[in-house]
Amino acid sequence: MTSPTAIGIDLGGTNIKASVIAGPSADVVTAEVYDTPSGSTTQVVSRLGEIAKELIALYGPLPLGLGVPGQFDRKTGVLRDLPNLEGDWDGYPLGTAVRDEIGQPVTLINDAQAFTLAEAIAGAGRGYETVAGIALGTGIGGGLVIAGRVHHGAHGSAGEVGHQVIAPDSSVECSCGNHGCLEALARADALADRAGQPDAASVFDAVRANDARAAAALAAVAEFLGIGLANLITLVDPDVIVVGGGLAQAGDLLLDPIREATSRHVRIAPPGGTPIVQGSLGINAGAAGAALRALTD
């Protein structure tokens, strides 16, 4: 086994996932899942510090990447917007806080960018030049990886496919404050509400049981996602689109109608010419991607 090369920690609203990776194909040496403490920023930072110090004690002071569910200033590590994390995070200097806690540098990365990077290097996007990732869950994240590196854009938000406005007249407000974003229309709760089901997993069960309302809800959400991915293809023309997040676990039940809708809305690029595939790294992708980001800093 190759020696461990980096530590990645993925901070989510419910869980903190940590991975130690080794070698160029990001082999997972260890992967752990912890509960995210509810409450203050201090409690979360202290927990992140404990997890990091535990792994550093076991594997040495490796480069460390931290995935965060939102936007931040790449130069200062100050958070801008973390809509799905409890606590007062707006303007919080997470990068320096964690660095001070553990006594070594920390590289921040957006969680969906981390997912995309891991899938591009070691998962379903491996071997492709331009990889677009979309993470479907509580929110809708996205990222772009070109030639093995995250494309950040001028403000770090490149690839945020969830925040393109699909329906400007929509009354549904997005976590970003816009109306009619793809995320607001197609996130897990939006699918469940439309189907009259308690959660997204129940929607897929109902579709399998031939429930008409659930099928109509899935078709509507797949249509929104198809428009979003067609726009992505038109602007970026990626070699592959990798789909992750909780909803992707439904596999082709979700992906087939998305592929069909995407093909209908693509004109400039060849319709159906962009593979839309399920991620292959599962729940470890975010932490592995954060570790990979630390290596390319």
Residues that bind Zn ion (CB under 5 A): 163, 174, 176, 178, 181
Residue 140 or 290: the one with the smaller Cβ distance to Zn ion is 140
CB of 100 to Zn ion, least distance (A): 32
Tell me whether residue 104 or residue 170 sits nearer to Zn ion (CB atom): 170
Least distance (Å) between residue 166 CB and Zn ion: 10
Least Å distance between CB 229 and Zn ion? 16
Q: Is 237 left (phi over 0), alpha (psi -120 to 50) or beta?
A: left
Whichever of 8 and 137 has its CB closer to Zn ion, that residue is 137
**Chain centroid to CA 234: how far?**
21
Cross-strand pairs, 68: 110
181 or 291: CB nearest Zn ion = 181
Name which of 284, 286, 285 is nearest 32 in CA terms.
284
Name the residue type at position 288: A
CB of 183 to Zn ion, least distance (A): 5
Task: Pick between residue 81 and residue 260 the one whose CB is nearest to Zn ion.
Answer: 81
Least Å distance between CB 131 and Zn ion?
23
